[in-house]
Amino acid sequence: MKLGACWYPEQHPESRWGDDVRRMSAAGLTLVRLGEFAWAALEPAPGEMDLAWLARAIDMAAEAGLGVVLGTPSAAPPRWLIRSHPEIRLVDVDGSPRAAGSRRMTCPTAPVYRESSARMARALVERFGHHPGVVAWQIDNEPGNHDSARCWCPACETAFRAWVAARYGELARLNDAWGTAFWSGQYGSWDELELPRRSSTVQSPSLLLAHRRFASHQVVSGLAEQRAIIAAGSAGRDILVNTYWDDTFVDARDVHEPAGIAAIDAYPHGVDGPEANAYLLDLARGSAGPSGRAWVMEQQPGPINWTALNPPVPPGQVRAWGWQAALHGMEASLFFSWRPTRSGQEQYHSGLVRHDGTDDRGLIEAAVLARELRAVADSAPEMLARPRARIAILHAYEDAWAIEIDPHQAGLTHRSLVQPVHAAVHRLGLDADILGPRDDLTGHTVVIAPALHLMSEDRLRRLREAIAAGALVILGPRSLVKDLDDCWLETPLPGGLAATLGAHVVESLSQTLPVTVVPGDAAAGPWTDVLEVDVADDDPEPVEVLARYGGPSYLAGSIAALRRGDLAYVGASSAEAWSTILAPLLIGRGLAVLPARVGVERFERGGRRIVLDHVALTIKGSPELDPGAA
Ligand code: GAL
């Protein structure tokens, strides 16, 4: 894994630049990202490009031996552009346009914004597309972040109407698909189809889901315009887009897959602990498509400024985060940022060096990490090659949107259902690949779909293909419950697979009772499905009950998990319940289960076992990794 830093020469005096890049290089960093917020410095007035300073910065970085990742600045357009074309401002649901002075305040549909972004990309690629120091590109910055994919402006409303009309054709079909008879919601003409504005209570989930799809599509198509421009003028370089790792504003798979490489921004203090980090790193790899290539484009270097508490980062933590990224198969990791600024919105955000330019602990640990990674790359490169896992976990942004729209329990998210399954697999000492709805599922021994909420013929076909190829398929609670328009199925659940399962779901519960899973006594988790068997005991393919619910409630003794042949259903949702139920199933499929303590990750890489302890902040398992040797 290569290391780098995010660098903002336009925010610091030029007299510092040379020293900055030489120190990066001396610390063992080999990549530097720049430019992604510099639009106003690059185009200070309409039609007036100033690329000379950027050329000097790129040259200096290249001379210091750094590979430059050049960003296109569409996340932060200049004030003059917003002033002369106020229609490019994003309009929030309450009707107020976002003001200049921040970032991600633009409408993803606005033609002037899209054309201006394309113009900047063209100017940059014409000048730097063949620069030997430019090794990769970054388009935009965290598209969708700050809830910037959905816009309620007139241009978006017109585009949304056209998008829906193209998808459904006939109004009658739309009314039927969305079940608009509920609360007199029928559309009598296309003009009546409005963006989901605030009303007395929530809008139709079908409309809301369509709006999420449309918003994501608008963002992705804008990124594709920039990508085409860069690809045409800078052959042979990766073109990445950095998404915030936990965002669901856009379908990150649609963002990354066309490039065959993903990039995420990893801020562990923004999520809940090492298991979340592990999950999100694997999700990044999975969202690149079959290549599984991913970078961490921004890595937390120390305390940050935007969570509720912004806690301290203890010694050893930055190095441990780096190792975690490397062992999850990231190709590069760039720290955000090199040096904090004296001004602006992020003054409390640490960097690798301090405000006064002296080395911060982040830089010292980055240098240790760089040395260790180099040593491993020389002596045992196979340790950093992420092997294909034998377990696949299914993830889909459309399911995430449907669950966010109608969670049934406040705060419940797709991640809170899928991450526990990833954690359970990891706690059993195994890796998991996270695959998307378009991926081929036939290459894994076990395929788990923890929250495959929406049902489609295509999804069913892929699951059946996995079973036909010899995999065990395991569904989780609320799987195959609704159609692609977010309307509940009127067939036995799991929709389309109940007959194969020989069982069906009788209760889908937002769980508030003290329910456990037996065997064991793990809490069942926030979502629990109760199952009932449909086939007789003497059926040629009988149903095996794997677990029942326990605890002092009416649910005691009812079925929590079962299996019939190569299809299983787990109704519980906590990591502990999943671990208990999964262990025998995985052993039954020939997987070497080796339970690890929570807080410890174990990796089998190149015939070695590496243990990353997130509590003690140690990495053990091979001489090269001994902290003392570094
Ligand atoms: C990221 C963003 C960076 C910076 C960073 C602070 O989400 O891409 O530009 O704001 O957060 O942690």
Task: Render pLDDT for 113-148 as a digit per residue (tens, 0 to 9).
Answer: 999 999 999 999 999 999 999 999 999 999 999 999
With a 6 Å cutoff on the Cβ, whether 247 touches ligand 1 is: no
**Residue with token string 């923890």:** 450
pLDDT tens digit sequence for 329-388? 999 999 999 999 999 999 999 999 999 999 999 999 999 999 999 999 998 898 898 888
Task: Note whether 243 and 364 are same-domain residues.
Answer: yes
Catalytic member of 298, 372, 398, 576: 298
Question: Tens of pLDDT along 445-480?
Answer: 999 999 999 999 999 999 999 999 999 999 999 999
Q: What is the pLDDT of residues 509-568, one digit of tens each?
A: 999 999 999 999 999 999 999 999 999 999 999 999 999 999 999 999 999 999 999 999
141 CB less than 6 Å from ligand 1? yes
- β-pairing, 242-244 vs 238-240, is unpaired
Average pLDDT, the chain: 96
Number of domains in the chain: 2
Please identify which of the residues 43, 142, 275, 601 carries the catalytic annotation.
142
β strands within 535-596, DSSP E: 544-550, 559-564, 567-570
CB 121 within 8 A of CB 138: no
Could you tell me the CATH number of the domain that includes residue 429? Answer: 3.40.50.880
DSSP 33-90: EE-TT-HHHH-SBTTB---HHHHHHHHHHHHTTPEEEEEP-TTS--HHHHHH-GGGB-
What is the CATH classification number for the domain harbouring 47? 3.20.20.80
- At residue 387, the pLDDT reads 83
Contact 449, 486 (CB under 8 A): no
Say if 177 falls within a structural domain: no
Domain membership of residue 606 (yes or no) is: no
pLDDT range class, residue 629, cuts 50, 70, 90: very low
Q: Are residues 475 and 453 in the same domain?
A: yes
Q: Active-site residue 142, yes or no?
A: yes
Number of H-type helices and E-type strands within the chain: 17, 23
Residue-range definition of the domain harbouring residue 334: 2-84+122-149+236-379
Q: Are residues 442 and 577 in the same domain?
A: yes
* Residue 105: inside a domain: no
Q: Same domain for 372 and 395?
A: no
Q: Is the pLDDT of residue 625 over 50?
A: yes
**Which DSSP string do the residues of 123-192 spell out, in sequence order?**
HHHHHHTT-TTEEEEE-SSSTTTTTTS---SHHHHHHHHHHHHHHH-SHHHHHHHHTTTGGG---SSGGG
- On whether both 15 and 145 belong to a single domain, the answer is yes
| Alpha-carbon distances, residue 344 vs 16, 101, 479, 495 (angstroms) | 19, 10, 45, 52
Assign residue 171 a region: left if phi > 0, alpha if psi is -120 to 50, beta otherwise? alpha
Q: What is the pLDDT of residue 50?
A: 98
pLDDT of residue 179: 98
User: Could you tell me whether strands 567-570 and 559-564 are parallel, antiparallel, or unpaired per DSSP bridges?
Assistant: antiparallel
pLDDT digits (tens, 9 = 90+) for 183-212: 999 999 999 999 999 999 999 999 999 999
The reply to whether 478 and 435 lie within a common domain is yes
pLDDT at 630: 40
Q: Mind listing the pLDDT tens digit for each residue in 34-57?
A: 999 999 999 999 989 999 999 999
* Same domain membership, residue 258 and residue 340: yes
396 and 267 inside one domain = no
| DSSP assigned state of 359 | B
Specify the amino acid at residue 212. Answer: R
In a domain, 254, yes or no: yes
Instruction: Check whether residue 444 and residue 326 sit in a common domain.
Output: no
CB 77 within 8 A of CB 88: yes
70: nearest Cα among 78, 59, 53, 58: 58
Does 367 share its domain with 409?
no
Can 298 be counted among the known catalytic residues?
yes
Question: 426 and 368, same structural domain?
Answer: no
**Which two three-digit tokens encode residue 28?**
């063992």
In the reported structure, the alpha carbon of residue 299 is separated from the centroid of ligand 1 by a whole-number distance in angstroms of 9
80 falls within a domain? yes
In a domain, 366, yes or no: yes
With respect to residue 364, please indicate whether it lies within any of the assigned structural domains: yes
Give the mutation target among 104, 240, 265 for probing the ligand 1 site: most ligand atoms within 8 A of CB.
Answer: 265
Among residues 379, 414, 435, the one where a domain terminates is 379
The answer to whether residues 482 and 505 belong to one domain is yes
**Rounded Cα–Cα distance for residues 452 and 438 (Å):** 13
| The domain boundary residue, chosen from 357, 379, 401 | 379
pLDDT digits (tens, 9 = 90+) for 275-300: 999 999 999 999 999 999 999 999 99
Instruction: Examine residue 169 and state whether it is found in any structural domain, yes or no.
Output: no
**DSSP 8-state class, residue 264:** E
